Structure 1
Amino acid sequence: MQPGNKKVQITSSELGDLWTTYMNDSMAICMFNQFLQHIDDDEIKVILEYALKLSEEHCAFIEGLFKEENAAIPQGFNVETDVNLSAPRLYSDTFYLMYLHNMGKIGGNSFTLCLATSARKDVRDFFRKCVEHSMELFERTSSTLLSKGLFLRPPQIEMPKQVDFVQHQSFLNGWFGDRRPLNAVEIMNLFFNIERNQIGKSLVTGFSQTTTDKEVANYFVRAKEIAAKHIEIFGSALSESELPSPMTWDTMPTTSTTQTFSDKLMMFHATVLTGASVSHYGTSMGTSPRRDIGVTYNRIIQEVLLFAEDGTQIMINRSWLEQPPQAPNRSALVKKD
């Protein structure tokens, strides 16, 4: 092969994004296969089958690319060892739909960032398709939620009649003086953070009642309590401005206590959602000028980070934490007397 035709080496950011995508999609394949064992709504079933197909395609592409590059393929998760397909139904059809809708939104955000940090054309093409797939999943779930009357719309406020500029420092007030009403961006952040926490709460509730590991069960109970607290905090902020919080859906798990997913998979899934929470809260903090709201986000980010650290420790102690590709330890390569 001529030097000019040599394939460009994959960068660290591309490698990290591909590895993470493989881990997430291999987990999703297990989740979707189990969901498909218990589903009554044909509309939602079609969307689930579409999501499963996408995750399988993503994993197949990454496996092929890693083989070409002589790179180790992540172990990830598989249906044979990480999911019990014969377990009773754990979640409702409504939960499946909301779960897919949330995954579409998370995928759209994360894959856009992956695309923006990729240089090699085949990798860029892959992540561009992943963005398109996520948007299509979002569109399909949105349309179905709307048709079933399940789409939760953020609160409405009056349309502005004129352009205004901030005239006083009181715009930033949080604890002292008169607090201004929430602005549209702050309302949006609070509303969707409630929605995401409701989905996460339902998910980990099911995890907590089906694991046989007491420490893992306690971790999921703690996750449920944190989600409930955050829902209350965000809801109170909306109520103060006389705005409604999102309604709850029929998304709580069934009473099944049969092990449905492996503890390793459930703990990994919890870490994925925790990481997404930190990202969403950080964005919310950066776009919420009112001091009390910004400080609240900062406080709960610290809480979530400590929670994530405890979860990581559980996974390390049980040899469940698969290590991402990392740079060589140069100091370890030095021959010392």
Structure 2
Amino acid sequence: MPETPTITSSELGSLWLTYQQKTMILRMLEYFIEKADDVEAKNIMTGLYGEINPYVGKITEIFHSEGAVIPLGFSDQDVNKDVPKLYDNGFDIMFVRLIKEISMAMHSLNITMSYREDIVILFKELTSITQKYYNLCTQYLIKKGMLARPPYVSMPKSVEFVKDTNYLGGLTINPFSEKRPLNSVETAHLHHAIESNVIGMQMIIGFAQCANEKEVKQFFTEGAELAKSIIKEISETLLIDNIQAPVSSGGNPTRSTIAPFSDKLMMYCTSLFCGFSMGSSSLGTAFSLRNDLPAKISIFMKDIFEYAHRGAKIMINNGWMEEPPQMEERKQMNKK
């Protein structure tokens, strides 16, 4: 065995995806830092930029050493820092917090698919940075009153066990039966879904205002309506049990119609959010024991998947979708 083995296909794929994501985040941070009018928010984003920027170089070095082409990712051509603010009232930190949540999930998964020690260490270090800035963003937003906490609940005084299958309730047993109240685990996932979709909706409304291509503008408009419908449906589910849906006081798009980002970058960012939403929804269905909830969430997942699929077609037709490294086409090679 060589001292430093060649990277595997899973390591190559993980590094390639990380390169795409990090170059996108850096471009967006450059704009948000330039437009930040809050010193603490600016310091958080500047610190994050300084800590993750070197990892783009580290990934580039690995690709060089392996003889792999360097991905294009996102460059200075994908950001314009000189345009007016597209978002106001804390959206920059709200966005960074959600991006860090996505990054935590990706880095944790990448560690499980990495075998070479230097790559495992790289993803462990990125995970540590991500956790640090996720917490900084969370505490900032709470202090500023821009982040709604999940609902409180009376503390349990004894251990209870489910006594019969009526606990499952909902569709598959009797759709007309009275449903039990939501438990704390189900409430947590519903609250998180609303919180994520609110930020996604605000982001995509801003994108719709400034997109250059008509087809892209229409795609973003449809995405905002999809997010609204999901927020409305989940909020009604909470209100039935007298639980207040989370309401954020910040993150509003401005009236600007001048794009700070390329259509390519905005489409990729939306695709990333769709993938995160589907993954998060899958987790929500796995831990929801009331039968109506997985059924409802599955419909959301289907709608999000179809929306993301339309977005992928737009990216392909415009030449914006960079192709991940491919496995060898053995059948074609054999024919030759």
Relative to the length of structure 1, the TM-score reads 0.96
Q: Which position in structure 2 is the counterpart of 1:89? A: 85
Are the equivalent residues in 2 in contact too, given 1:16–1:325 (CA < 8 A)? yes
Quote the offset at 1:323 in angstroms: 0.5
Q: Which position in structure 2 is the counterpart of 1:303? A: 303
Aligned length: 332
Q: Does 1:274 pair with 2:274?
A: yes
Quote the offset at 1:334 in angstroms: 1.7
Q: Which amino acid aligns with 2:335?
A: K
Secondary structure of the structure 1 residue equivalent to 2:179: coil
Q: Which position in structure 2 is the counterpart of 1:190? A: 190
Q: Does 1:292 pair with 2:288?
A: no
Are the equivalent residues in 2 in contact too, given 1:104–1:137 (CA < 8 A)? yes
Q: Which position in structure 2 is the counterpart of 1:231? A: 231
Q: Which position in structure 2 is the counterpart of 1:27? A: 24
Are the equivalent residues in 2 in contact too, given 1:40–1:93 (CA < 8 A)? no
Q: Which position in structure 2 is the counterpart of 1:220? A: 220
Whole-Å separation in 2 of the counterparts to 1:54 and 1:222? 35
Quote the offset at 1:151 in angstroms: 3.1
- Deviation string 1:197-223 (CA, Å, 9 cap, x unpaired) is 011011111110101211000000011
Q: Which amino acid aligns with 1:114?
A: N
Q: What percent of counterpart residues are identical? A: 33
Whole-Å separation in 1 of the counterparts to 2:282 and 2:127? 22
- Deviation string 1:6-55 (CA, Å, 9 cap, x unpaired) is 31121222111111110001001110111112111000000111121233
Q: Does 1:115 pair with 2:111?
A: yes
Whole-Å separation in 2 of the counterparts to 1:46 and 1:268? 26
Quote the offset at 1:259 in angstroms: 2.1
Query: What 5-or-longer segments of structure 1 have no aligned partner?
Result: none
Q: Which position in structure 2 is the counterpart of 1:131? A: 127
Q: Does 1:58 pair with 2:27?
A: no
Whole-Å separation in 1 of the counterparts to 2:331 and 2:278? 33
Runs (4 or more) in structure 1 with deviation over 6 Å come to none
Query: What 5-or-longer segments of structure 2 have no aligned partner?
Result: none
Quote the offset at 1:249 in angstroms: 2.2
Quote the offset at 1:5 in angstroms: 4.1
Are the equivalent residues in 2 in contact too, given 1:14–1:118 (CA < 8 A)? yes
Are the equivalent residues in 2 in contact too, given 1:39–1:93 (CA < 8 A)? no
Quote the offset at 1:99 in angstroms: 1.0
Q: Go from structure 1 to structure 2 and tell me whether the alpha carbon gap of 1:50 and 1:135 turns closer, same or farther (over 3 Å shift).
A: same
Q: Which amino acid aligns with 1:246?
A: P
Secondary structure of the structure 2 residue equivalent to 1:64: helix
Whole-Å separation in 2 of the counterparts to 1:146 and 1:193? 18
Are the equivalent residues in 2 in contact too, given 1:191–1:245 (CA < 8 A)? yes
Quote the offset at 1:93 in angstroms: 4.6
Are the equivalent residues in 1 in contact too, given 2:209–2:217 (CA < 8 A)? yes
Q: Which position in structure 2 is the counterpart of 1:253? A: 253
Are the equivalent residues in 2 in contact too, given 1:82–1:262 (CA < 8 A)? yes
Q: Which amino acid aligns with 1:270?
A: T
Q: Does 1:37 pair with 2:34?
A: yes
Are the equivalent residues in 2 in contact too, given 1:87–1:258 (CA < 8 A)? yes
Q: Which amino acid aligns with 1:323?
A: E
Q: Go from structure 1 to structure 2 and tell me whether the alpha carbon gap of 1:38 and 1:90 turns closer, same or farther (over 3 Å shift).
A: same
**Among residues 124, 136, 147, which one is paired with 1:140 in the alignment?**
136
Relative to the length of structure 2, the TM-score reads 0.96
Q: Which position in structure 2 is the counterpart of 1:164? A: 160
Are the equivalent residues in 1 in contact too, given 2:146–2:250 (CA < 8 A)? no
Q: Does 1:46 pair with 2:43?
A: yes
Whole-Å separation in 2 of the counterparts to 1:297 and 1:326? 33
Q: Which amino acid aligns with 1:219?
A: F
Higher relative contact order (CA 8 A, sep 6+): 2
Q: Which amino acid aligns with 2:153?
A: I
